[in-house]
Structure 1
């Protein structure tokens, strides 16, 4: 089980790094707006952007792999018991402890002063 968790974690880190690199390598959508007004090709300013290139398709694939590996990592790391509440398992215990502390603070303590 630890081997599977390690493989999924490595896949998650590699896909996250590749998404970051691919997004930074892409050409911005608004980078040609200044040239579009002056060169007479203003039809591409607000029109369709054309077909997707290799970088945008690779980004979509890497993002899909990243999301899938995040879900797989969550499923692999989850405790195996069916009775677990996950993140909220300690909330009920904390609430009962806090209410007990509040009840103790609300009850006055009577100190007898010796005469």
Structure 2
């Protein structure tokens, strides 16, 4: 329960930190603000936004790192569940001797034996004399 709460807080702090960093003006913007280049149009005044944004960013960054350390410590002490798919091994079957023939032969065959009348007679390959050349 504590882990989930810290994880949600970590996510919220990370999103807020990204937002505050993107909202801040760069250091080069101060030069333009001194000549009236939009610095007076801010909500916090010309110098007030720098202090507020800087302090908020520093606070969020510190909170982000502290939450990172806590979550890392909690995760490191957790015992990992055993994954059933981790140790997949094929059982080794004993080696069998190769057969001498491709077709296995059994002692008693249930297949009826072909009779001589079922087998067509072989024709000789000798040339016949009654065929004219």
Report the TM-score, using the length of structure 2 for normalisation: 0.44
1:59 corresponds in structure 2 to 57
Change (3 A) 1:35 1:8: closer
The residue matched to 2:77 in structure 1 has which SS? coil
Unaligned runs of 5+ in 2: 36-46, 80-133
Unaligned runs of 5+ in 1: 40-49, 82-115
Larger RCO (alpha carbons 8 Å, 6+ apart): 1
When the two structures are aligned, how many residues end up with a matched partner?
67
* CA deviation vs aligned residue, 1:53-77 (integer Å, no higher than 9, x gap): 1111000000000000000000111
Which consecutive aligned stretches of 4+ in structure 1 deviate over 3 angstroms post-superposition? 32-36
Q: Between Structure 1 and Structure 2, which shows a larger proportion of helix residues? A: 1
2:26 corresponds in structure 1 to 28
Change (3 A) 1:26 1:15: same
2:70 corresponds in structure 1 to 72
Report the TM-score, using the length of structure 1 for normalisation: 0.50
